[in-house]
C-alpha cells in the first residue's frame, strides 16, 4: 500500500517577535496561511526496520538530518513499530525559504504513518509529536489559517483568509533562520499589529487585512540581503495590494484581490527572479 500526502507551504501574513525566552526560543505571534504550492510525500512500508528517504531534490539530506526521517524515527520509537518505511519527497516548495517546506514534509510524514500503520492518533497527538521535530511542524499537521503563539506551537484556528491571489518570489539566496535569530537585536524590531490583522481576517475584510500585514524580521533580513527589499518594491510597483517577507525570508509574498493584477505582478518579477509562483491560499 502506498500513502500519498500533500505537504503545502505556508506564508506568514503577520509575524511578531515578542522577546527571547529563558530556553533560548523566541516568543512569537504569527498568522500563517497554507498556500497551494506543495510537496508530495509518498510512503510505503518496508519489511525491514529501515527508514529510507528518496527525493528529486539533489541537495537535501537523506539521513537523520531530513525532517521526514526524524518524523518517521519518532513515530517508530514512540509506538514500537518494527516495520520500516520508504519515503519519497517530490519537492516543489523552495528550500530554506521561510515557507516551512521541511516542517510540512515532516507533518505529512506523521499524517501518512498514522494511516500506514493504523495508529489512530488524534490531530492533537500528531501536533505534540511534531513539536519535538520543529516549532512549525504542529501548525503544518492541519495547516489552514491560524494564529500561532509560544514558539509557534500554540495554535488557534482563524477564519480562512479573504479570497485573494498570492505571488510568491524566492530570490536566489538561502537564508539561515538560525543566523537571523542569533543576530537579532530585539530592541530594534518593528511590531506589526497582529490583533488588528487577526480581526480583519475574522471579519473577512481584505482591505483592512492588507493594511496590517507585516513581519518583525523583514528589516533585519533586508539589511543583510538587499534583494528582499528590491523584490518587495518591484512587486508593489507592479500593482500588488501588499507585500511582505515570509518567515525569516528570503521569500517575499504579494497579495492581490484581482487575478489580472496578480498576473501583472507575476510577469513583472518573473524576469528578475527564476522562482516565482502564482497561487491561491488553501481553505481549511
Ligand atoms: P521555516 O519556514 O520552518 O523556517 P524554511 O522554509 O526556512 O523553514 P526548509 O525548507 O524547511 O526551511 O529547510 C531548512 C533546512 O532544513 C534546509 O537547510 C534543509 O537542508 C533542511 N531540511 C531537512 N529536511 C528537509 C526537507 N524535507 N525539506 C526541506 N528542507 C529540509
Same domain, 6 and 108: yes
Pocket probe mutation, ligand 1, options 88, 102, 106, 152, max atoms within 8 Å of Cβ:
102
Same domain, 126 and 259: no
Nearest by Cα to 38 from 120, 122, 143: 143
What lies within 8 Å, CB to CB, of 248 at 6+ separation is 98, 175, 177, 180, 181, 217, 221
Length of the chain: 284
| pLDDT tens column, 4-60 | 999 999 999 999 999 999 998 899 999 999 999 999 999 999 999 999 999 999 999
- How much distance in Å is there from the Cα of 89 to the middle of ligand 1? 13
The single residue of 16, 39, 105, 136 carrying the catalytic annotation is 136
Pocket probe mutation, ligand 1, options 10, 25, 96, max atoms within 8 Å of Cβ:
96
Q: What is the CATH number of the domain that holds 215?
A: 3.30.70.890
Number of domains in the chain: 2
Q: Is 63 a catalytic residue?
A: no
Residue 181 has pLDDT above 90, yes or no: no
Q: Which range of residues forms the domain containing residue 138?
A: 2-157
What lies within 8 Å, CB to CB, of 198 at 6+ separation is 14, 31, 147, 158
Q: Is 10 a catalytic residue?
A: yes
pTM of the model: 0.95
pLDDT band with cut points at 50, 70 and 90 for residue 105: very high
- Closest residue by Cα to atom 31, ligand 1, is 102
- Greatest CA span in the chain, whole angstroms? 56
Which of 157, 192, 216 is the endpoint of a domain? 157
Q: Are the beta carbons of 180 and 17 closer than 8 angstroms?
A: no
Same domain, 177 and 236: yes
Residues linked to residue 9 through DSSP beta bridges, in sequence order: 35
- ipTM of predicted assembly, 2 dp: 0.93
Residue 137 CB: number of other CB atoms within 10 A? Answer: 28
Amino acid at each position: 500500500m502506498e500513502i500519498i500526502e500533500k505537504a503545502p507551504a505556508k506564508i506568514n501574513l503577520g509575524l511578531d517577535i515578542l522577546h527571547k525566552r529563558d530556553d533560548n526560543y523566541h516568543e512569537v505571534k504569527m498568522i500563517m496561511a497554507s498556500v497551494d504550492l506543495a510537496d508530495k510525500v509518498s510512503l510505503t512500508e518496508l519489511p525491514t526496520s529501515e527508514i529510507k528517504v528518496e527525493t528529486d531534490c539533489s541537495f537535501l539530506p537523506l539521513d537523520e538530518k531530513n525532517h521526514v526521517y526524524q518524523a518517521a524515527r519518532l513515530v517508530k520509537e514512540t509506538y514500537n513499530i518494527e516495520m520500516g518505511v520508504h519515503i519519497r519527497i517530490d519537492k516543489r516548495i523552495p528550500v530554506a525559504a521561510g515557507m516551512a517546506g521541511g516542517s510540512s514534509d515532516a507533518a505529512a510524514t506523521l499524517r501518512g504513518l498514522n494511516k500506514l500503520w493504523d495508529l489512530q492518533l488524534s490531530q492533537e497527538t500528531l501536533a505534540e509529536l511534531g513539536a519535538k521535530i520543529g516549532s512549525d511542524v504542529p501548525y503544518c499537521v492541519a495547516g489552514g489559517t491560524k494564529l500561532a503563539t509560544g514558539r509557534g506551537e500554540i495554535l488557534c484556528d482563524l477564519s480562512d483568509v479573504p479570497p485573494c491571489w498570492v505571488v510568491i518570489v524566492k530570490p536566489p539566496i538561502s537564508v539561515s533562520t538560525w543566523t537571523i535569530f542569533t543576530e537579532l537585536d530585539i530592541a530594534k524590531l518593528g511590531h506589526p499589529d497582529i490583533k488588528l490583522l487577526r480581526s480583519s481576517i475574522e471579519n473577512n475584510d481584505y482591505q483592512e487585512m492588507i493594511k496590517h500585514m507585516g513581519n518583525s524580521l523583514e528589516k533585519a533580513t533586508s539589511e543583510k540581503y538587499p534583494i528582499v527589499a528590491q523584490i518587495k518594491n518591484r512587486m508593489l510597483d507592479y500593482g500588488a495590494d501588499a507585500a511582505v517577507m515570509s518567515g525569516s525570508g528570503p521569500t517575499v509574498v504579494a497579495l492581490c484581490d484581482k487575478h489580472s493584477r496578480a498576473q501583472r505582478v507575476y510577469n513583472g518579477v518573473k524576469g528578475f527572479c527564476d522562482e516565482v509562483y502564482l497561487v491561491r491560499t488553501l481553505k481549511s
